[in-house]
Amino acid sequence: MADTLTVTDNRTGKTYELPITDGTVRATDLRKIRTGADDFGLTTYDPAFLNTASCRSAITYIDGDQGILEYRGYPIEQLGEQSNFLEVAYLLWFGHLPSQAEYDAWARTITLHTMPHENIKKFMEGFRYDAHPMGVFLSTVGALSTFYPEAKQIGDAELRRIQAIRLIAKVPSIAAYAFRHLKGQPFVYPDNDLSYTGNFLSMLFKMTELKYQPHPVLERALDVLFILHADHEQNCSTSAMRGIGSSQVDPFSALAGAAAALYGPLHGGANEAVLKMLAEIGSVQHVPAFIKKVKAGDGKLMGFGHRVYKSYDPRAKMVKKTADMVFDVTGRNPLTDIALELERIALEDDYFISRKLYPNVDFYSGLIYQAMGFPMEMFTVLFAIPRTAGWISQWEEMLRDPEQKISRPRQVYTGAPRRDYVAIANR
């Protein structure tokens, strides 16, 4: 059986044979299908990239029908139970699990880069007192390019590695500063004795005590959530990272764009939207009426549905487990009952079953964050911190891929045909 596709162009009667590789045909192979010498050739039309692979990637594997997620081949369930976020970040970037010596060196290097330049603190103070931390986060990440101008040298592998370390190390500090600014509290400098998430909790919640002691259960829960959010192949923000990075801009500028893409309510902003929705529903009794509204097309059930998963998001299962662990410490988030009832009703309802709509990662994560003391505005920032490891690894892979060029889709022009300019007095 040949791995080819035979296509007959009924406009010309000509037949073409196109190679099939890894279940794909190359869109550029269609260009030879032409009606004549003046014809540009056939193009694919795929708004929102529903059926287009934009790259070859060895980082993350998803089987949306079976609910499988793997980083570099390792199942998310095993990583969530046995690994930690810094090890996962190493795995995403280097492609293999570190030896003990490699891990120690990596963790040490990240720890030594957590302190932002003092001027970053100063300009963050310039944001309005109630500035949304996601807006603060993405603009500050972009501003890092002004502190590290050598980051422009994206052809230098060692410099790329240094920027990756800076980014992974500094995003928790920037996020914590954004949080403290919102709260009107002084910034807390990093504590090198603590773990990645332990230090983050310290920078967020330390008050007058000399040494902040993170609660080990909450520290671990946050670490698990960071693992679950670390990468998710070619989603909207990762495609933004690759697309912007393909212009050869520095990684800080590209990552600011990726974070902006994450901010939207259909992507990483969904966790905030879920909590707003749950608060609006208000009580379990109001759930059936809310579901009826959604089915009538009046709004969406936020935290449900996914472009790729057509079964239960494996991350959502683990987030649900983590919620129990957190609630044992913090007490149960009262909105949990509404979420459970929404899930119960939706999973029995034909509207959701026929469309294969299941809870996604954002459905339960906000409940945990709220129980841990985070305001809703911080939820998407908590997604952006670990996703930084994924974005930067995808960016590195894109730059190393000899097939990649500047990202530049085509369009089907639907505007006016050529016409002559008319002077304003004659219109």
Q: For residue 227, give the amino acid letter.
A: I
CA–CA dist 205, 33 (Å, integer): 62
Spell out the residues 6+ positions from residue 48 whose beta carbon is closer than 8 angstroms to its own. Answer: none
Catalytic residue among 191, 231, 250, 362: 362
As beta bridge partners, residue 19 has 4
Contact status: 301 vs ligand CMC (CB under 6 A)? yes
Instruction: Give Cα 116 distance to the centre of its chain.
Output: 23
Residue 397 per-residue DSSP state: H
x/- track of binding to ligand CMC for residues 197-236 (CB under 6 A): --------------------------------------x-
> What DSSP element (H or E) covers 18?
strand 14-19
Contact status: 304 vs ligand CMC (CB under 6 A)? yes
Least distance CB 232 / ligand CMC (angstroms): 7
Contact status: 266 vs ligand CMC (CB under 6 A)? yes
Contact status: 183 vs ligand CMC (CB under 6 A)? no
* φ, ψ (nearest 5 deg) of residue 169: -75, -40
Instruction: Give Cα 333 distance to the centre of its chain.
Output: 25
- Among residues 113, 152, 267, 310, the one that binds ligand CMC under rule CB under 6 A: 267
Binding segment (CB under 6 A) for ligand CMC, from list 266-274, 280-288, 392-400, 417-425: 266-274
Indicate if 362 belongs to the active site. Answer: yes
Contact 312, 359 (CB under 8 A): yes
Q: How many CA atoms lie within 13 A of 55 on its CB side?
A: 27
Return the residue nearest ligand CMC (CB atom): 305
CA–CA dist 184, 187 (Å, integer): 9
Catalytic residue among 267, 328, 350, 420: 267
Contact status: 258 vs ligand CMC (CB under 6 A)? no
Contact status: 300 vs ligand CMC (CB under 6 A)? yes
Indicate if 215 belongs to the active site. Answer: no
As beta bridge partners, residue 344 has none
CB atoms inside a 10 Å sphere around CB 238: 26
Q: For residue 73, give the amino acid letter.
A: G
Indicate if 350 belongs to the active site. Answer: no
Residue with smaller CB distance to ligand CMC, 190 or 269: 269
The site that binds ligand CMC (CB under 6 A) totals a number of residues, namely: 19
Contact status: 270 vs ligand CMC (CB under 6 A)? yes
x/- track of binding to ligand CMC for residues 361-400 (CB under 6 A): xx--------------------------------------
Q: Is 321 left (phi over 0), alpha (psi -120 to 50) or beta?
A: alpha
Binding residues vs ligand CMC (CB under 6 A): 235, 266-268, 270, 294, 300-307, 355, 357, 360-362
